[in-house]
Structure 1
Amino acid sequence: MSGLAFIGFGEAGQAFAGSVTRARLARVSGFDVDRGRAKAMTALGVTPGTRDGALAGAGAVWCLVTADRAAEAAAECAAHLMPGALWLDGNSCSPGTKAQACAAIEAEGGRYVDVAIMAPVHPLRAGVPLLLAGSHAEAGAEVLRTLGMKPAVVGDTVGQASTIKMMRSVMIKGIEALTAEFLLGARKAGVEERVLASLQASDPGFDWAARSAYNLERMAQHGNRRAAEMREVARTLRELGLPDRMAAATADWQAQVGALGLALDGKAAPEVNADALLAALER
């Protein structure tokens, strides 16, 4: 294959760039609106450049921006793609947003692939499970296998992969938000030990203390990005004719915690992370 480009170079882009097989790549390039990420690109063997420069010569493009910028990124990049270039949209967006991005890419001769990243990119990196959908999903899967990645095609309609991710996020990100609500309330009331003990007794197969601390750390580090994703989840539910009450509330919690800019330790005692969040929320 020819070159590989990254549009967006946050956690996922860096994880993939540092672990994919490059034997058949002529060039790996990248662009991020945050120019400060050029240093990370260079460290990982990615040539930083302008948007147009990064796309030049790229037969495959990973789009890994934030959910609220995915359609915009597709619209801005479409006219600058090589003819037939694969646009691997790994953003956590609703099927409607993915269809909008697909229309922009394919109107300019690109080949759009709906990609859902189905687990945290660390520690798996290139080994993270990927679901692909769309009329070019098989072609995308072939390229990703060449890069040493783990794709599985789930359908030929754009939106099929993203819907699976969206519905999963109702549960995964929703549990994080519920964790914040119950643990902060319990800690402030001075009853967190008894609440955690009760939960552990009810569900002994789940380490409630460890998971609660981890969930708060995830929200603190990635809450802004998760909030954007959950707004897309809410949109997905509305597109299905269902209420989005839990998804909308989850987006609010994720945004509020993410905006605090805290660096928490996912392996700390749950009360340590709860205290840090409470102190920040009450400032």
Structure 2
Amino acid sequence: MLVGFLGFGEAARAFQETLAVREPNLRFMAWDIKLQDPAAAQDMKTAMETRGVSVADPAGFSDADWIISAVTADQSFLALRSIQDHIVQGQVVIDINSVSPGRKRESASLVEAREAAYLDMAVMAPVHPRGHRTPVLIAGSVAEKVIPVLERLEFDFRNMGDEPGQATAIKMVRSVFVKGLEAITVEALLAARASGCFEEISTSLAKSFPGLGWPEFAAYEFERTMQHGKRRAAEMRESAATVKALGLNGDLVSQIAETQELMGGIDISDLNKDSVDELVERALAARLKA
């Protein structure tokens, strides 16, 4: 069985590494847009080759049994379009991207027009350390056909229905709360530091919400947004589209995306990531400078 990864970032690498241990006879190939970037191509090739993954091009996907799409949310449909001429009858395309139900239905139509099968898969927890055993939700008419293979490979999954979008809808709505809580925590504590009442606010929140585990909780929320904010901003824009399509307040979710975008990429490599004071100071300096 040949598994092709469309995109070979953190999620794809985590899935590939644990799948290779679980099923040594699996073969892997991958294509990533970074292979077209002279500054990033060599690192990407090395990441593939050291894991025993063949470096492919879009045409190579016609040989794959499964195609796992694992790109950034804003690129999910474009990535499938880039290989659509090489999607063939009988393949299964597993879309693990964090995008709106509408985007997944659009992607499903593209795949099914090529007489291949499409599976909506929503990844519901961090991919490390469990890799492909991370809890996921699945949806799509092909689900029943794929379930025996997922079970054999020891995926941790729940089937949410026959329609693409039914799995990702749960992920998108849940993300409004999870990433929104991060954004609220960040903005509140940055405002507290900027206004000189940080200790008062921290003490008050710790008393009001003892179950969150202050100050460790605050440090974790800052670290997550600073490390992964760019990627999460793209995901939250898809969550905003999901909420808007329901006739609800998608503008609120768009603001969560904005905070994630502003926080993403702030360098904290030289900081103690468990120190909320250091993280807040670095984030405030970066935000005010911007």
Asked if Structure 1 and Structure 2 have the same fold, meaning a TM-score greater than 0.5 normalized by the shorter chain, the answer is yes
Q: Which residue of 1 aligns with 2:53?
A: 46
Q: Which stretch shows the higher mean deviation, 164-173 or 205-214?
A: 205-214
Q: Note the 1:1-283 alignment, pairs <5 A.
A: 2-20=1-19, 21-25=22-26, 27-35=27-35, 36=41, 37-53=44-60, 55-263=61-269, 267-283=273-289
Q: Which stretch shows the higher mean deviation, 152-161 or 136-145?
A: 136-145
- Does the 8 Å contact 1:6/1:30 carry over to 2? yes
Q: Which stretch shows the higher mean deviation, 94-103 or 213-222?
A: 213-222
Aligned residues: 280
- Cα distance, 1:262 vs structure 2: 4.6
- Does the 8 Å contact 1:220/1:263 carry over to 2? no
The Cα offsets for residues 6-28 of structure 1, whole Å up to 9 and x where unpaired, read as 11111101111111122342x21
Separation in structure 1 between the aligned mates of residue 270 and residue 15 of structure 2, nearest angstrom: 24
- Cα distance, 1:49 vs structure 2: 1.9
- Cα distance, 1:131 vs structure 2: 0.2
- Does the 8 Å contact 2:18/2:130 carry over to 1? no
Separation in structure 1 between the aligned mates of residue 25 and residue 91 of structure 2, nearest angstrom: 16
- Does the 8 Å contact 1:217/1:264 carry over to 2? no
- Cα distance, 1:236 vs structure 2: 0.5
SS at match of 2:227: helix
Separation in structure 1 between the aligned mates of residue 270 and residue 250 of structure 2, nearest angstrom: 29
Separation in structure 2 between the aligned mates of residue 9 and residue 49 of structure 1, nearest angstrom: 11
SS at match of 1:61: strand
Distance 1:266 1:238, change over 3 A: farther
Distance 1:75 1:178, change over 3 A: same
SS at match of 2:18: coil
Q: Which stretch shows the higher mean deviation, 34-43 or 101-110?
A: 34-43
- Cα distance, 1:266 vs structure 2: 7.6
SS at match of 1:83: coil
- Does the 8 Å contact 1:62/1:89 carry over to 2? yes
Separation in structure 2 between the aligned mates of residue 266 and residue 11 of structure 1, nearest angstrom: 23
Same amino acid, percent of matched pairs: 39
Distance 1:200 1:156, change over 3 A: same
Q: Which stretch shows the higher mean deviation, 4-13 or 193-202?
A: 193-202
The Cα offsets for residues 27-76 of structure 1, whole Å up to 9 and x where unpaired, read as 211111112322111122211121222x1421111100011111111222
SS at match of 1:19: helix
SS at match of 1:88: strand
SS at match of 1:225: helix
**Gapped regions of structure 1 (runs ≥ 5):** none
Distance 1:266 1:104, change over 3 A: farther
- Cα distance, 1:265 vs structure 2: 5.7
- Does the 8 Å contact 1:78/1:110 carry over to 2? no
Q: Which stretch shows the higher mean deviation, 143-152 or 105-114?
A: 143-152
- Cα distance, 1:125 vs structure 2: 1.7
Distance 1:191 1:124, change over 3 A: farther
Separation in structure 1 between the aligned mates of residue 209 and residue 288 of structure 2, nearest angstrom: 32
- Cα distance, 1:153 vs structure 2: 0.7
- Does the 8 Å contact 1:141/1:152 carry over to 2? no
Q: Which stretch shows the higher mean deviation, 31-40 or 162-171?
A: 31-40
- Which amino acid is 2:204 matched to? S
SS at match of 2:141: coil
